[in-house]
Amino acid sequence: METMNYIPSVHSRENLAALLRKAGAAKLLLIGEYGTLTPLTLINEIKTQFKGRVFLELIAANKNRDLITSYVLSAASAGFDGVVIASGNFSASGPMARPVYDLDPSQMLSMISALKKEGLLPASFTIAARSAVGNGAIAARARYLLAHGAEYLAVSEQPGDEFKDKTMRIESL
């Protein structure tokens, strides 16, 4: 099972440099969108300082479908090697903001898989989806995601045997 080293937020270029030093020889970085600097503006610096693959954690929260399309196409063209689809933290932008969920993760998956099928994303661009670990509804949704275009599940706990081969483990840096 591959490990993703997770950077949920980047607040300055100095902050990024320090995090990348910490990542050291890691093979795969997952960059989240919770910082003041958007990952799309950081990929060049990340790629010059980090030799492994870099995935964008693409959250549904507070983006509509047009923006999500734009983000994923920009991420691929800027050099990200893949995305991890997630619903995202609730109202991360502050208590007064109206939370926006135009698409849910399954709908994002459908849209991004279609972009890949149409050749608008490189064939090598990996599509993964965050998942909880558990039985019942959680396992049923995890099966759905894998059956509908997610190459991997990205999880932060030990996954069950059924999903082990199709799982990437998220670990905070």
Partner 1 sequence: MIVTRKKAPQTIQELAERYKKLIIVGCSECAAVCQTGGSEQVKEMATLLGNGREILATISIESPCDKRISARDFRRLEKELEGADALVALTCGSGVQAIAEVTGKKVIAALDTDFLGMVERLGRFYERCSHCGHCILNDTAEICPVTLCPRGLRNGPCENIHGTRCDVNNDRDCVWHTIYERLSSRGEAERFAAYHEPPDWSTCRSPREEIWERK
Strand partners, 53: 28
Pairwise CA distance, residues 55 & 79, whole Å? 9
Assess 30 for contact with partner 1 (CB under 8 A): no
Distance of CA 139 to the CA centre of its chain: 20
Sketch the per residue contact string, 31 through 70, with partner 1: x for CB under 8 A, - otherwise. Answer: -----------------------------xx---x-----
- The amino acid present at 49, given as its one-letter code, is Q
| Interactions with partner 1, residue window 106-135 (CB under 8 A) | 106-107, 110, 129-132, 134
- 94 or 136: CB nearest partner 1: 136
Beta carbons of 54 and 45 less than 8 angstroms apart: no
Q: Match 């799982």 to its residue by tokens.
A: 167
The binding site for partner 1 (CB under 8 A) comprises: 60-61, 65, 86-87, 89-90, 99, 101-107, 110, 129-132, 134, 136-138, 140-141, 143-144, 147-148
